Amino acid sequence: MQPIRRLAMVSLHTSPLDQPGTGDAGGMNVYVIELAKRLAQRGIEVDIFTRATDSTLAPLVEATDGVSVRHIHAGPFEGLTKEELPGQLCVFAREVLRAEAAQPLGHYDAVHSHYWLSGQVGALARDRWGVPLVHSMHTMAKVKNDALAAGDKPEPVARIIGEEQVVEAADMLIANTDLEAKQLINLYDAEPGRVEVVHPGVDLSVFRPVDRAVARAELGLPLDAHVLLFAGRIQPLKAPDVLLRAVDVLLRRDPSLRSRLVVPIVGGPSGSGLDRPESLAALAHELGIADVVRFVPPVSQATLARWYAAATLVAVPSYNESFGLVAAEAQATATPVVAAAVGGLTTIVRDGHSGFLVDGHQPEAWAHTLGRVIADPALLTRLQSGALEQARQFSWEATAAQTLAVYQRARSLMRESVA
C-alpha cells in the first residue's frame, strides 16, 4: 500500500488558527492543529480547509512546516452563527473541490473531516476524488441532547440527520474514547469494524510541571491560596456556574476560607453563553463571592499551562465532554482535576488517583469533593503525583501514529467496497 503523502483536513466552522477558549474555538481547534503538526513531522503534507471569518485573512497561510490553512470564502465573514452554517455548505464544498482541481490529478490521498458540518463536505470530496474519508465527530447531537444543562438549547433535528449521514458515508470513524465508540455504534448505528478509538494527546513540552511558587508569582496569585481554576468556554454545557455555586457552599460552611480562596475563570463566552455574556459575573455577585472570583480572557497555550501549574485543583464540571482536553492538559502540569463523571472525562481522570469524578452537578457534592482535597495536604500531594502519571498516557505523537494507521485502514476498506 502506498504511503499517505498529502492529506486534506476539513474544519469548516472553526479555524485551527483561532484562539481557543471563546466563540466556537476550543479543544477541537487544538486537536486539528496539533495532529496536523505531528503528521507533517512524519512527512505528510496537510492542507486544512476552514471558513474565512475575516476579509483580511490570506487565502493560504502556512501554519508550520508542512501544514497549510486554506481560508474558504463562504457566506458573510462575521455574524454567521454555527446554526446558520448549513446554508453555506454548498458554497464551501464547491470552493474545496475547486482548490483540489487546481492541483495535479490524485493530489490528496485521504480526507479527514472534523465535526458533522465538515463531514458533509468530506463525503462529497471522498466521492469526487476517489479517496477514503475518515471522520471525527468531536461532539454528537444525540449525546448532548441527553445531557442538557438548565437553560441550554437542544441540538436541532437537522444536525442529527446530518450526523447520521456522515456516519453512513465515512470509511472510518475515529472516536476519542471507548465510550464515544459505543455511542457511535449504539446511537448512530455505526458498523463496529469502522470505528477506531484514538485518544487525543497533550503537548507535553508545553504542559509540564512548573514550580507552583514561580507560576503564582508570574500570575499575581498568593503563594498560600487555594486556587480552584476553571478553563474553557463560558457556556451552559461547560457548567462554570457549578464551580461558583460549590464555592458559595464552601464559604458558607467555612467562612475562614475566604481570605485564602481564589477562583480564576479563564475563557470567554461561547455558544448559548453569548446570549448573556455577563451572566457568570452576575452570578458571582448574586452569590456574594465576586471578591474571590477572577475573570481572565482566553490566553495562549503557554500561559494556560502556567495557570494550570499555579492551580491547586482544576474543575471540569461539564455536562458532556467527548474527551476533556482541559483535564488532560491540567494533569500534565501535575495539577489534579475534579471533573463531572461524564463522557471522556471518565477516561482522562482516574478517580481517586489523578483527581476525583463527581456524579451529577449538585453544588453540595462538588463542594464536598473540593473541600476534601484542599483540607488534606497529603491527599493533594498524592493526587499531584497521580495526575502526572496519568498524563503520560497521552501524547500527540502517539495520536498521530494511530491516526495514520486509521487512514491506511480506511484506504483498504474503501478498495474493498469499490471492488
Cβ-contact 25, 18 below 8 angstroms: yes
Binding positions for Mg(2+) are 308, 311, 335
The pLDDT of residue 19: 74
Average pLDDT taken over every residue of the chain: 93
Looking at CATH, the fold of the domain delimited by 212-392 is given as Rossmann fold (3.40.50)
Binding positions for UDP-N-acetyl-alpha-D-glucosamine are 19-20, 27, 233, 238, 299, 321, 329
Per-residue pLDDT tens over the stretch 255-299 = 999 999 999 999 988 655 455 668 899 999 999 999 999 999 999
Q: Which CATH architecture fits 6-201+396-413?
A: 3-Layer(aba) Sandwich (3.40)
Per-residue pLDDT tens over the stretch 234-263 = 989 999 999 999 999 999 999 999 999 999
In this prediction, residues 88-93 reach a mean pLDDT of 95
Collapsed DSSP state (helix, strand, coil) of residue 15: coil
Q: How confident is the model at residue 133 (pLDDT cuts 50, 70, 90)?
A: very high
Per-residue pLDDT tens over the stretch 173-189 = 999 999 999 999 999 99
| Distance in angstroms between the alpha carbons of the first and the last residue of the chain | 16
Rounded distance, CA 59 to CA 124, Å? 22
Cell numbers at 127, concatenated: 466521492
The pLDDT of residue 382: 98
The pLDDT of residue 55: 86
Size of the chain, expressed as the number of residues it contains? 419
Q: Check residues 23 and 190 and name the one with the higher pLDDT.
A: 190
Rounded distance, CA 14 to CA 27, Å? 11
Binding positions for 1D-myo-inositol 3-phosphate are 13, 24-29, 82, 115, 139, 159
**3-17, 145-159, 353-367: least confident range:** 145-159
The pLDDT of residue 265: 97
Per-residue pLDDT tens over the stretch 60-85 = 999 999 999 999 999 888 777 778 88
Rounded distance, CA 76 to CA 57, Å? 13
Cβ-contact 409, 198 below 8 angstroms: no
Per-residue pLDDT tens over the stretch 199-213 = 999 999 999 999 999
CA distance readout (Å), 387 to 208, 395, 400, 403:
11, 14, 23, 25
Cβ-contact 10, 123 below 8 angstroms: no
Q: State phi, psi for 45 to the nearest 5 degrees.
A: -80, 125
Transcribe 147-191 into DSSP letters.
TPPTTPPPPPHHHHHHHHHHHHH-SEEEESSHHHHHHHHHHH---
The pLDDT of residue 417: 47
In this prediction, residues 347-374 reach a mean pLDDT of 97
In this prediction, residues 121-130 reach a mean pLDDT of 96
Q: How confident is the model at residue 59 (pLDDT cuts 50, 70, 90)?
A: very high
In this prediction, residues 152-162 reach a mean pLDDT of 92
Enumerate the CATH 3.40.50.2000 domain ranges in the chain, comma separated: 6-201+396-413, 212-392
| Distance from chain centroid for Cα 385 | 24
In this prediction, residues 351-376 reach a mean pLDDT of 97
Residue with cell 503537548: 203
In this prediction, residues 122-144 reach a mean pLDDT of 96
pLDDT of 419 above 60: no
The pLDDT of residue 23: 65
pLDDT of 26 above 80: no
Binding positions are 13, 19-20, 24-29, 82, 115, 139, 159, 233, 238, 299, 308, 311, 321, 329, 335
